[in-house]
Chain A
């Protein structure tokens, strides 16, 4: 019997460097022995954990979920999960373009919280303008991925957001 292959890749508040993968496939296939995860950025680089020597991460088939520490910055990534047989042959494969922007979101929420306890910030044109720029950059990244499937534009938007996040004394 075959499976309908599927997976999710999510982040949790407080852990922006980590991605949790969950196998949400349906059906069963006794020939499946293991899984691999490939993550590719906008310029074709493979993203793996420190210490991993291959282009991929191994995801044991017995584990429904796996959490990997992969991200130093927000990224748009092509994620490919392969379901393999015991000989390493690919039985199933699924690729998704996915956006990870928890670094930016976390900082944005911090800005909003700061603003909520210091309403005068609202009158600070510099703060306000750059807060909106950050919001727009994050939204542009989302739109690039989910409306256009454009990984390069998404990463460019995330880079604009990062510039704001990395220079708070200048922008906020």
Chain B
């Protein structure tokens, strides 16, 4: 998609600055940048800016804009900065009301999250309504993460639109009797938090479930994967011949594969 004139003007403004910086650095080190270039970029950019202010449809905007971009040495750096800082419209932030108080409880058969459960809807149905808030979640005074840590799994997921708090992994993450828990609502809610998985993931035998063949990670659900593993006949593993997708993760179906017996290191990559 071609750059718009306002985008060209923004890029020109930053490129003049960056080129001046580069020139200063290059001069010290015997650089070869045309010393006029920052001023030239500024001059051309100013002409483009004036023309655009006077007539947004003037046919001269195209050749002048193209010329400006052609002399912008650091166009892509400028574009990157603009994309980060000003790539779109930022909706005004409505100040939040103070968040609700922390919710502390000891897991029991009658607690907010009963013994053995792995999820709860905090949507006001028979309990607190934390929809619209981000949260911090603690188990036994330990902060829990929504993204895998050090090759392990995520500890919980939180959907601040539906209010669904899910303890992870779904097998093994159940609330334990007498376990202290804290749900700490924060301001800054309002946006849907969708945890995403970064690839590749490196896992070891220790990351497998008790059956020695199942790896659970809700963040990989729905992704099309391929695996690279050691200690197997063919290191490249594909579904459905070498592994299959199961609820909450994957199961290796290679004969003789057993993470309880062998030490594996597996790199999980995403295809789609």
- Hey, which bits of chain A sit against chain B, CB under 8 A? 12-13, 102, 105, 108-109, 111-113, 115-117, 119, 122, 128, 131-132, 135
Contacts and interface: CB of A to CB of B under 8 A. Distances in A.
A128 B44 contact: no
Interface stretch (B23-31, B35-43, B132-140, B175-183): B35-43
B5 to A, nearest CB: 13
A116 B67 contact: yes
**Listed residue (B50, B51, B60, B67) with the most chain A CB atoms within 10 angstroms of its CB:** B50
A115 B44 contact: yes
A148 to B, nearest CB: 20
A112 B48 contact: yes
Contacts of B55: 13
Interface of B is mostly: helix
**Listed residue (B36, B46, B47, B55) with the most chain A CB atoms within 10 angstroms of its CB:** B47
Contact of B50 (A105, A115, A128): A105
A132 B43 contact: yes
Given A12-B54, A13-B54, A112 B66 contact: no
A159 B66 CA distance: 31
Nearest to A135: B43
A85 B12 CA distance: 51
Nearest to A111: B47
Contacts of A108: 46-47, 50
Contacts of A13: 51, 54-55, 58
A112 B46 CA distance: 9
A116 B48 CA distance: 11
Nearest to A108: B47
Given A116-B63, A116-B64, A131 B43 contact: yes
A113 B60 contact: yes
Nearest to A112: B47
Contacts of B71: 122
Nearest to A102: B54
Contacts of B46: 108, 135
Contacts of B54: 12-13, 102, 105
Given A13-B58, A116-B63, A109 B47 contact: yes
Interface in B35-89: 36, 39-40, 43-44, 46-48, 50-51, 54-55, 58, 60, 63-64, 66-67, 71
B64 A113 contact: yes
Nearest to B60: A113
A13 B55 CA distance: 7
B46 to A, nearest CB: 6
A122 B63 contact: no
B216 to A, nearest CB: 60
Contacts of B39: 132
Nearest to A116: B67
A109 B43 contact: no
Contacts of A102: 54
B63 to A, nearest CB: 5
Contact of A128 (B36, B58, B64, B66): B36
Contact of A109 (B36, B51, B66, B67): B51
Contacts of B48: 112
B257 to A, nearest CB: 65
**Listed residue (A13, A113, A135) with the most chain B CB atoms within 10 angstroms of its CB:** A113
Contacts of A128: 36, 40
Nearest to B47: A112
Nearest to A134: B43
7 contacts: A105-B50, A108-B50, A109-B47, A116-B66, A128-B36, A132-B39, A132-B43
